[in-house]
Structure 1
Amino acid sequence: MLTNNLFKRWTYKFFAPDLLQRGTYEAFRRLLEHDRRCHELIADFQDLFFKKQEPTEWTQVTALYDQLSEAVGAITKELTLISAREATDLSTYYKKFDSYIRFLLQPESNRTDPPYIICLGEPGMTTQLGGNKAKNLAEIYQNFDCSVPPGFAVTTNSWNSLVAYNDLRPAINSHLRTLDPEDNQSLLDTSNALISLIMSADIPPEVYQAIQDASHDLVTGLAAKTQTRFAVRSSAISEDGLNSFAGQYRSILNVDPEDVHHSYLQVLASKYTPSALLYRITAGISDTEASMAVLIIEMIKARAAGVIYTTDPKGDKQDTLFIHSVQGGGEKLVGGKARPHLSCFNKKELSPVKESGSKCPIDQEEAKKLARLAAGLEDFFGAPQDIEWAIGDGEPVILQSRPLKTIIPIQDADPENKVDKPDLPLLYHGGVTAAQGRGTGVACFLSTSPNPQDLPPDAILIVENIPASLIIFLSRCKAVISTMGSSASHFSTICRELGVPLIVEATDIKEKITHGEMITVDADSQNIYLGRTEDSSTAAGGPLSTGKNHPYFLRLQTILEFITPLNILDPEADSFVPESCRSFHDIVRFAHEKSVQAMFAIGKSGSRRGHRKRLETALPFDLYLITVDDDKENRKTTDDDTITIDQVESIPFRALWQGLTHPSI
């Protein structure tokens, strides 16, 4: 393309100089328009970093960059038509920076080839293929002495294959580009559209058959058991790692093997529920970086189930194991709808130290076995663990083990900022601390504010239960109080990640607080006060808490280093050359300056002489006019190097000049 432009330009220079001059002028006009657009887009990128306090949907960042790249590329093309010599090297630097930025914007290409299935007992289960949930369970299955349900993972390659087979990526990106996560209706509309896309998609034949074969093998291996059922669970790449995605994706239980393909699609589609979308965006993860694997395991008919924390997530009792247990399956516990029994064990001695809550659904010997397994899993993975377990007819079964996020207590993190007891009337004391911190705001009962936009920006949310889907309200919440739930629920994990104070098991809270009154919640002491404090909000934030050290902003900052800095300033300096460009801003600056110089040089030499005239004026500056029309026959020409305003035929310019020379100016 560059060679063609150069050849065309030199041909016009020798055989059609007037046509070249007009073409140069038109290219200059287009370049100025691209220049304006580039500066607008660069400013938009700066706003993403400096003005936005929350991450932006990454598809929108990519779309913004596509516009900027196109505009900068157009500038280099137009400069070729104006001053080919100056543009020769500039295009090379544009392509270099463009490749750097696209590498930072996009992950490695997602693979669509086999394996589509990996069994828990097989080698080769990685986070990239099976997600952290499946990888961790496979490591336990193969290397740790405990009971794990048999099963297999439908890999991320299968998800990528489904997206490619149905050509879904353009439609997915189109919906995500228009998503406004702060607008609940936009969130719901986008979610519904994307879920519909996935549920109406066809599973690629090779993936369908792989799931069919693996399901048949699993049923055959469980032939001794009657009425085999599956649990179909999410295992996304970004889940159960630095970001928990706790409760954001679906788990479908008691699935008939004949229905496994439909359940597989349902779990994939849960990637786009409103709460999952909001969580992913808040975490600063792009949609293509959150590829979904699905874990399919034997369904355990649980007599009791629960969650074990191998240390205190609040950072206090680090030598204690916390066993939360409920009767039956554990979904009501992690879903924030149950008050569990809590058994605490000394981690080193594996001896019970405390019990509380409802009636314990397991005996002391089973509790000791669970404590021993939990301590062993913490040693096995080398970090505190959040473990889901169940007990059916026999030994305890491990269903999941993921890293447990712990928070440094606020007073330990900064003793100088220790929060004093507020001098306010005490309204309520009770409940259990699920996420630390203090928040002041307006008491809001969820039943009276079903839409997040209906909440004030400083709401104290008061609810019956704490499902993980409540994340859509948290951007407007200073604290949350629940009459049910536990610190082992998925929503509690999210609040700790976001740094939102949370009190659970506040049984009679609605009798003590009036909707709309100003209150202060001190989750650490389980105290609620009437009124506002000066230190209105303190909380220990986890990986999802915002700030410029958030991974999203660090990534964006790296990208901006190739976009916004202006390094070449002085057009007269020897360093004002393409080789000195270090950013898109430099390229835009260089192209603008060189194009202006080229336009002022028109008419100085050769066949173009006579088209560039200096306007005679008493004003203290030189102004040169250039003829760019095609009407040679009627053009008024003169050999003089100057021209008077009476000789100018352009009506718009004469009007401009009349204003510039008005006596009042």
Structure 2
Amino acid sequence: MRSCIAERHMNLIQRIRSIFSPPPPPETSQDNGQEDMFRARYQAFRRLLSANNGALDFMTELEEAAMGRRHFGMHFVRSRVTGATTKVFNIVENLLYLAPGKYLALRDTLRDIQERIQESLATGQAVRRRELILDLDDITAGDVGDVGGKMANLGELRNTLHISVPRGFAVTAHAYESFMQHTGLWEEINCLVLGHPMAAHFSACPLPDADVDDDEATNQPIALLELCAKIRGMILAAEVPAELQEAILAAYDRLCEQEGRQVHVALRSSALGEDSAGASFAGQHKSMLNLDRESLIDGYKEIVASKYSAHAMTYRYMLGIRDDDVLMCVGCLSMVTSRSGGVTYTTNPLNAADERMRITSAWGVAKGVVDGTATTDEFVLEKGPEPRIVERTVPRKESALICSPTEGVCRVSLDPEHCEMPSLADAQVIDLAAMSMRIEEHYGQPQDIEWACTPEGGLVLLQTRPLEVRAPEASPVLLSDVSPLVHGGRTASPGAAFGVVHIVRKDVDILVLPDNAILVCVEAAPKWAAVLNRCQGIITEQGSVAGHLANVAREFRVPALFGVPSATSLLTPGQEITLDADNAAIYPGRQDDLLVRKPERPNMMAGSPVFQTLERVIRHITPLNLLDPDALDFTAVNCRTLHDITRFCHEKSVQEMFSFGRDHDFSPRSSKQLKTVIPMQWWIINLEDGFVKETPGKMVPLDNIASVPMLALWRGIVAFPWEGPPGLDGKGFMSVLFQSATNANLEPARASHFADKNYFMISKHFCNLQSRFGYHFTSVEALAGPRPRENYIRFQFKGGAADQQRRVRRARFVGEVLDEFGFQTRVREDALFARLDDCDQAFVEDHLEILGHILIHTRQLDMIMNREEVVQFYKQRILHQLHALMDAKKRDSVPTTGQT
């Protein structure tokens, strides 16, 4: 009865109030216009945030590349730079929409940064000479930029050292440019590579030890071969400019006049950068032997097309060599009739302490030695005024590669007399050694020399280039308690490796390369260099340590053992083995005692042309100079990088959104203070559907908040009571006083929109928090909705009242905590940046709770972080609380069974 009377009493009071209270004002057209204006501004704000996240993603990729975590090419650099610049342009334009006329200086600032970026991206060799053809008589080492290293070195040998080399001429870098520009191939190839699925592979390949998805690893070689075949077809189908054709044929005719006969020639690649220190390009480009006049133009195109073979492209990208820098010059040399040919190493490439010379020789042309198909003789010589042979190995040789009577080369069987004979007489070995010592002395470093011996016994040098030599290492010890599966062969590249046997008999076998593969094949063919960066080691039945594949294996630090008889029969596909290349042994399973000699893969990107370009361009993109939004220098004209512009625009866009309700006297979109028991001020602006219902007045209760990410962040904020500031030691207290007294940016009396408040901008699935806890600046931005690919978290944290060292420790401590929960983090000095992407809604909510807890419970910890043990104590304490928080959520989510 009493309850009914009370209810009637309340109804009567409400009716009386309704009679005397003024009716709510009707919605006016002005309100509708302001709502439409806010909605348009909100869409611009969301576009700005989307572009901001995209720009930061591009910047992160560039930073990771600059840290040496991946191989990458110029396509990667250009595409990421273009992406970042485009996103920043969109950021600027959307801010100008939010704040018409206020930040116009940003356009000029962005234009200046773009110009500096384009200057840093400028690539390409400066071709000095405009001739299409240069005769070898007119070439020396100084012409390397016009004819490439191979032909420049041959000219140097001929014209400076007066050493016998073949007559010939070079088709220059200018000729290559003429061909590529005349046909439009440069632009076509660049567009094809950038738009092809393989562009991602060549843009940013993981380093050899990185994990690679199986499907991706399987598809990469297939896509690469398809791309290379298409480019090769384009080049071979292109028409060489008439002027260049005439120049090549006229030079050939002059060569015939000099020789006094119709000569067959060798066409040899001599690309810029080829045969240089650290980048031999050994066997990566094509050579064509024994061609006549009718084959010259097509042969020239074949050499140019070999620049885009699978192994050449992979080699270039692994070494960070820009495509624009590899201008393909071609040497045209009178074909030498070779009784025998081979390679001289003027010192031991496996051990710098062993300065003895190595000469490798085979019957016929030298091609059989360098491509690993010939059985070779080997001579070791002591250097001196009169070189002395100290070791020789002369195996039985069954065949030889010789010039075909028509064109090209062919393999022939040797007569019984020559099978057992050395392919070089001792006197020729001594003469060759003396000549090689002259060349080494001239260049001042060890040399890799290719040569031919004529039927008359004369020596003709075909090539010389720098020889990479490994530092001496302690003599490896054989395992005493494990018997090897195989023992024998020659060390082509030192070290030990563990992996699974992958036998390659045909080209198609490399298309499915397992993780941790040790390649086992018959021939040491240069084409296998395309997959060396993905192999743990390589074993071949044939091949010379002076061959091209051995060269590349040493450059890539891949252990290699050549000349292992019947290796493809003795080893089983998928079998786990340990390769001891130093001791020429192969063991079953994993032998950890040997793997201490596993070579560390070199970071071949470091110092490379592509890496240097990235270093130049990234200076204008990723450094963040505008850190404190309350600082006097936080202005548009002080933005020096793209990152500065993103930071400035993000900050100002938040301010513009918060100021709309006040500036336009529009209460529904004015900021409202959150009703909370926490003794801090929290202000909220509802962007769209962040409230359960619109709330009049200046306060909003927590139960009227509908924003999923804000509520998740709030649950973390209130999960554990804050225990107050930690006790300070004397130095910590003085540090705070010193910072407060000397750092103008920490002056609490300075005017600031964010000095004493914490601001949320929310919609149902979006939340942006800008807060300042004392001297700590924090930003959290999150999207937590039903579409996982769109969801993300961005967290930034900087500042503190203590000295720099303590603030850095605190930032690193927070980063390590976030690392434990799967955030991607970066710490720069006392600034922390963390992110999550592509997560389902529940996962984002959980991790926002973690951030909320960290926001509250890491306040002022910088003041006590004077020692590493303090850092670790609080790290473990925070982790314990966070794990307890997550465990409680898991328990709450488990359904319980009711009792009967």
Conserved in 1, the CA contact under 8 Å of 2:674 and 2:699?
no
- Structure 1 residues 86-95 or 548-557, which shifts more? 548-557
Is 1:235 matched with 2:278? no
Amino acid in the other structure paired with 2:437:
A
Distance verdict in 2 for CA 1:19–1:123, change over 3 Å: farther
How far apart in 2 are the matches of 1:370 and 1:654? Answer: 80
2:137 to 111, 118, 121: 121
Aligned counterparts, 1:250-329, within 5 A: 250-316=286-352, 318-329=354-365
Tell me how far 1:239 sits from its aligned partner: 0.8
Provide the residue aligned with 2:81 in structure 1.
65
SS in 2 for 1:562: coil
**Matched-pair contact (CA < 8 Å) for 1:391–1:397:** yes
Q: 1:591 to 1:617 in 2, by over 3 A?
A: closer
Shift of 1:262: 0.8
Shift of 1:561: 3.9
Give the secondary structure class of the aligned counterpart of 1:252.
strand
Q: CA deviation at 1:625?
A: 6.7
User: Is the contact made by 2:129 and 2:174 (CA closer than 8 Å) also made in structure 1?
Assistant: yes
Quick one: which of 403, 406, 409 aligns to 2:469? 406
- Which residue of the partner structure matches residue 788 of structure 2? none
SS of structure 1 residue aligned to 2:318: helix
Deviation at 1:644, TM superposition (A): 10
Once residues 151 and 762 of structure 2 are traced to their aligned partners in structure 1, the CA distance between those partners, rounded to angstroms, is 75
Q: Verify: 1:397 aligned to 2:460, yes or no.
A: yes
- Residue 528 and residue 503 in structure 1: after superposition, are their counterparts in 2 closer, same or farther (change >3 A)? same
Distance 2:254 2:507 in 1: 49
Report deviation, 1:558.
Answer: 4.9
Change (3 A) 1:623 1:484: closer
Count of aligned positions: 618
**Which of 188, 191, 198 is the equivalent residue of 1:174?**
191
Q: Unmatched 5+ residue regions in structure 2? A: 1-32, 203-216, 396-420, 677-681, 689-695, 702-707, 709-760, 769-848, 850-900
- Say which SS state the counterpart of residue 528 (structure 2) adopts: helix
What's the counterpart of residue 583 of structure 1? 641
Measured in 1, the distance between the counterparts of 2:316 and 2:130 equals 27
> 2:55, 2:674 → 1: CA distance?
36
SS at match of 1:507: coil
Residue 431 of structure 1 corresponds to which residue in structure 2? 489
SS of the residue 1:451 aligns to:
helix
**Structure 1 residues 437, 268: closer, same or farther in 2, change over 3 A?**
same
* Contact in 2 for aligned 1:310/1:322 (Cα 8 Å): yes
What is the deviation of 1:142?
A: 0.9
User: Residues of 2 paired with 1:161 and 1:537: CA distance?
Assistant: 52
Q: Supply the RMSD in Å over aligned alpha carbons.
A: 3.5
Residues 348, 356 of structure 2: 8 Å contact kept: yes
Partner Cα distance (1:547, 1:228) in 2: 43
Select which of 318, 325, 343 maps to 2:379: 343
Change in 2 beyond 3 A, CA 1:517/1:142: same
SS in 1 for 2:111: helix
In the alignment, residue 193 of structure 1 is paired with which amino acid? Answer: K
| Equivalent position of 1:221 in the other structure | 258
Q: Which whole-Å CA distance do the structure 2 matches of 1:490 and 1:533 have between them?
A: 29
| Contact kept in structure 1, 2:170 and 2:329, CA below 8 Å | yes
Aligned to 1:480: 538
Q: Indicate whether 1:378 and 2:415 are aligned.
A: no
- 1:501 lines up with 2:562 in the alignment: no
1:538 aligns with 2:594: no
In the aligned structure 2, how far is the partner of 1:531 from the partner of 1:541?
A: 21
Please state how far the C-alpha of 1:557 moved relative to its aligned partner: 4.7
**What residue is the counterpart of 2:574 in the other structure?**
516
Residue 670 of structure 2 corresponds to: 614
Quickly say closer, same or farther: Cα 1:422–1:520, change in 2 above 3 A: farther
CA–CA distance in structure 1, aligned partners of residues 535 and 700 of structure 2: 69
- Hey, what's the Cα distance between the residues in 2 that align with 1:457 and 1:654? 47
CA gap of 1:624–1:507, structure 2 versus 1, over 3 A, is: closer
- Contact 1:615 1:623 (C-alpha < 8 Å) held by counterparts: yes
State the alpha-carbon separation in 2 of the partners of residues 591 and 45 from structure 1.
21
* Offset at residue 580 of structure 1 (A): 4.0
Q: Secondary structure at the match of 1:244?
A: coil
Match of 1:489 among 547, 553, 577: 547
Aligned counterpart in structure 1 of residue 521 of structure 2, from 463, 484, 504: 463
Tell me what 1:631 maps to.
none
Shift of residue 129 of structure 1? 1.2
Is the contact between residue 615 and residue 644 of structure 1 (CA under 8 Å) also seen in structure 2? no
| Aligned 8 A contact 2:440 2:447 in 1 | yes
Code of the residue aligned with 1:239 in structure 2: it is E
Q: Cα 1:597–1:486, aligned 2, differ >3 Å: closer, same or farther?
A: same
Distance 2:299 2:605 in 1: 38
- Please give the alpha-carbon distance, in whole angstroms, between the structure 1 residues aligned to 2:40 and 2:551: 63
Separation (CA, whole Å) in 2 of partners of 1:37 and 1:654: 20
Alignment CA distance shift 1:109-1:96 (3 Å): farther
In structure 2, the partner of 1:130 is: 147
Distance 1:466 1:123 in 2: 33
Once residues 442 and 307 of structure 2 are traced to their aligned partners in structure 1, the CA distance between those partners, rounded to angstroms, is: 30
3-state SS in 1 of match to 2:474: helix
Q: What amino acid maps onto 2:146 in structure 1? A: L
Q: Which residue of 1 aligns with 2:232?
A: 195
How far apart, in 2, do the equivalents of 1:204 and 1:435 lie? 44
String of CA shifts for 1:592-649, please: whole Å, max 9, x gaps.
Answer: 11222233334655xx55588536676454445799xxxxxxxxxxxx997999xxxx
- Tell me the residue number matched to 1:74: 90
Question: Structure 1 pair 656/442, CA: closer, same or farther in 2 (3 Å)?
Answer: closer
| CA contact 1:323–1:342 (8 Å) conserved in 2 | yes
Give the residue type in structure 1 aligned to 2:466: P
Overall identity of the aligned pairs, in %: 29
Distance in 2 between the 1:61 and 1:285 partners?
A: 12
The higher relative CO (CA closer than 8 Å, separation ≥ 6) is in 1
- Could you tell me how far apart the structure 1 residues matched to 2:672 and 2:362 are? 93
Q: Displacement, 1:297?
A: 1.0
- One-letter code of the match for 1:344? V
Q: Is the 8 A contact 2:376 2:544 kept in 1?
A: yes
Q: Secondary structure at the match of 1:425?
A: coil
TM-score by length of 2: 0.63
Equivalent-residue separation in structure 2 for 1:454 and 1:22 (angstroms): 54
Three-state SS of the structure 1 residue aligned to 2:552 is helix
Q: Who wins on radius of gyration, i.e. which is larger?
A: 2
Q: Report the TM-score when normalising by structure 1.
A: 0.84
Secondary structure, aligned partner of 2:578:
strand
Q: Distance in 2 between matches of 1:136 and 1:404?
A: 14
What is the aligned partner in structure 1 of residue 431 from structure 2?
A: 369
* Bigger Cα displacement from structure 2, 399-408 vs 60-69: 60-69
Change in 2 beyond 3 A, CA 1:87/1:153: farther
Separation in 2, partners of 1:654, 1:99:
38
Say whether the 8 Å CA contact 2:264–2:291 is kept in structure 1.
yes
Structure 2: distance between partners of 1:165 and 1:387: 36
Match for residue 54 of structure 2?
Answer: 37
**Counterpart residue type for residue 623 of structure 2:** P
The answer to whether the Cα contact below 8 Å between 2:340 and 2:453 also exists between their aligned partners in 1 is yes
